[in-house]
Amino acid sequence: MSKPLIPSRTLLSTFSRSLRPENSASISPKCRQFMSISQGPSRQQCPRTASKSGSRAFSSSSPRTYKTVEEQRSRYRSGPFSWKAGVLFLASGAGLIFYFRYEKARMERKRIAEAAKGVGKPKVGGEFELVDHNGKPFTEADMKGKYALVYFGFSHCPDICPEELDKMASMIDLVRSSPQNNPPLLPVFITCDPARDTPAVLKAYLSEFHPDLIGLTGTWDQIKHVCKKYRVYFSTPPDVKKGEDYLVDHSIYFYLMDPDGDFVEAIGRQHSPEAAARVIREHIGDWQKKN
């Protein structure tokens, strides 16, 4: 006579959980029949039907574990970002802002320089023949290969010219003290009063402001010609007698010319020496990158 099989305590516990109301809908008819008897030919497992959500009732996979509780807490406290990611994000943003600001300023300088060369625009600068403060011939070709800073004035000017020449001297020193001084800066002073500003007068006058200033003079016709080339207002009367008093009026701008002899930008009285030197350095820097 065979010995009756008695269900184990584990199996009965499984059946007890299956009899809960939330699990009763997922029990198959075969399991219901098995639960009605206390004996059977062999031990069986209750097959369960798939739930509506598509998940299995019993899963063999174990949940993700962490080595320590502190490690789990640290993960949820830091979230998907870390301080390193934040620093990298801020550095990248600052770099992009700097780059776009630099490119915007460079394109603006390029626009100003190209506008002076555009079709239909009056050309500033050109050919001329004058004499420097040492009595030597000087033409526009002597400015080629350098950035030239050209200013028009006269030695008998009571206030504006001395102020602007002081500013010009500061601009020269600021630009030359910078690494961006290649091509070098050539400062040129052209008189609007050729009757009184002889080479000797210009040499003595300009030496009071900066030793590198080059003074240019010539005949009345030559000065009028170069003023017309640079679009400078010129009101000096011709055929002035020695000792005669007269008024001289002229435009107050610094004309920045590039190494090709083309006009780049006009620097006015609103520019401080520092601002003017920065504009010149930026144009020189653009030239260095282009060439």
Confidence of residue 236 (pLDDT cuts 50, 70, 90): confident
Is it the case that residue 178 has pLDDT exceeding 50?
yes
Helices 273-290/83-115 angle, 10° precision: 90
Is it the case that residue 243 has pLDDT exceeding 80?
no
Identify whether the C-beta of residue 199 lies closer than 8 Å to the C-beta of residue 135: yes
Confidence of residue 235 (pLDDT cuts 50, 70, 90): confident
Q: What is the pLDDT of residue 200?
A: 96
Q: What is the pLDDT of residue 250?
A: 79
Tens-place pLDDT, residues 61-99: 555 554 565 665 565 555 556 667 777 777 877 777 766
Give the C-alpha separation, 87 to 96, whole Å: 14
Rounded average pLDDT over 21-25 = 51
Give the C-alpha separation, 224 to 105, whole Å: 36
Would you state the structure tokens that stand for residue 28, as one six-digit string?
């198959």
Rounded average pLDDT over 179-208 = 91
Supply the mean pLDDT for the chain: 77
Rounded average pLDDT over 47-56 = 47
Highest mean pLDDT among 161-175, 245-259, 275-289: 161-175
What b/e readout covers 253-275, taking b as 16+ CB neighbours within 10 angstroms?
bbbbbbbebebbbbbeeebebee
Q: What is the pLDDT of residue 234?
A: 84
Q: Where do the H-state alpha helices sit in 208-255?
A: 220-229
Confidence of residue 241 (pLDDT cuts 50, 70, 90): confident
Identify whether the C-beta of residue 129 lies closer than 8 Å to the C-beta of residue 169: no
Q: What is the pLDDT of residue 251?
A: 82
More confident residue, 242 or 203: 203
R_g (Cα) of the chain, nearest Å: 45
More confident residue, 113 or 201: 201
Confidence of residue 175 (pLDDT cuts 50, 70, 90): very high
The type of residue at 193 is D
Confidence of residue 168 (pLDDT cuts 50, 70, 90): very high
Is it the case that residue 149 has pLDDT exceeding 80?
yes
More confident residue, 59 or 85: 85
Q: What is the pLDDT of residue 50?
A: 46
Which pTM does this prediction carry? 0.61
Q: What is the pLDDT of residue 151?
A: 96
Rounded average pLDDT over 128-140 = 96
Whether residue 4 is preceded by a cis peptide bond, meaning omega within 30 degrees of 0, is: no
Confidence of residue 246 (pLDDT cuts 50, 70, 90): confident
Rounded average pLDDT over 272-280 = 93
How remote is the C-alpha of 69 from its chain's centroid?
48
Residue 223, phi-psi category: left (phi > 0), alpha (psi -120 to 50), beta (remainder): alpha
Instruction: Give 52's DSSP letter.
Output: T
Rounded average pLDDT over 136-156 = 94
